[in-house]
Amino acid sequence: MELNDSQDFNVALYALAACFPPNQIPALEMSAEFFFEDMAEFSLETCIEIFRRARKGCRVFPTIAELLDIGDAIEEEQRRQRDIAIDREMCRQREKEQLLLQPPEKSTMTQERARAMAQALREIFSSRRKNGLQENEKL
């Protein structure tokens, strides 16, 4: 988070506190700065998701350590989702390449197979071209 996120962060923190009995809430006027400082490694959007999950899953107002654990779990989920998406895309690319490598049937190639192969070639070359442009932009 950035320093300019502190106001939105505090609004979300106080909204979380409003969901718990007053005797369970620390003096946020004094500790809100510590919450912000210790959770600064997360984006504001992630912090809001942390507070949402804490509101739904905690029976008492969570400590900073509990909120950090929730944030770590969220980031791990996001990493796994990205990895799954990458794996799926790689499988799609391999399937397309395998389609091109399969020997043609003894009879003439069907129109459906020819269309599928042409589409696979277009997608492979367009994604490689796009990836190449992205690599060049990074340089």
pLDDT reported for residue 24: 79
The three-state DSSP-derived secondary structure of the chain is: CCHHHHHHHHHHHHHHHCCCCHHHCCCHHHHHHHHHHHCCCCCHHHHHHHHHHHHHHCCCCCCHHHHHHHHHHHHHHHHHHHHHHHHHHHHHHHHHHHHHHCCCCCCCCCHHHHHHHHHHHHHHHHHHHHHHHHHHHHC
Q: Which domain holds residue 123?
A: 110-139
What span, in angstroms and rounded, lies between the C-alpha atoms of 21 and 31? 17
pLDDT reported for residue 119: 85
What CATH number corresponds to the domain at position 52?
1.10.8
Would residue 94 count as lying in a domain? no
- Most confident option among 44-48, 91-95, 127-131: 44-48
Question: Would you say 62 and 54 are in contact if contact means Cβ atoms under 8 Å apart?
Answer: yes
Would residue 99 count as lying in a domain? no
- Mean pLDDT for 23-43 is 90
> Are 70 and 117 part of one and the same domain?
no
Q: Is the pLDDT of residue 22 over 60?
A: yes
pLDDT digits 0-9 by tens, 35-74: 999 999 999 999 999 999 999 999 999 999 999 999 999 9
pLDDT tier at 104, thresholds 50, 70, 90: low
pLDDT tier at 12, thresholds 50, 70, 90: very high
> Are 8 and 60 part of one and the same domain?
yes
pLDDT reported for residue 40: 94
**Number of other CB atoms surrounding residue 1 within 10 Å:** 18
Would residue 97 count as lying in a domain? no
Which residue would you say has higher pLDDT here, 118 or 84?
84
> Are 25 and 70 part of one and the same domain?
yes
How many Cα neighbours within 13 Å face the side chain of 117? 13
Domain end marker among 52, 76, 100:
76
Please give the single-letter amino acid code of residue 84: I
Domain end marker among 34, 50, 76:
76
Domain end marker among 76, 96, 118:
76
Number of domains within the chain: 2
Mark residue 60 as left, alpha or beta (left: phi above 0; alpha: psi -120 to 50; beta: remaining).
beta
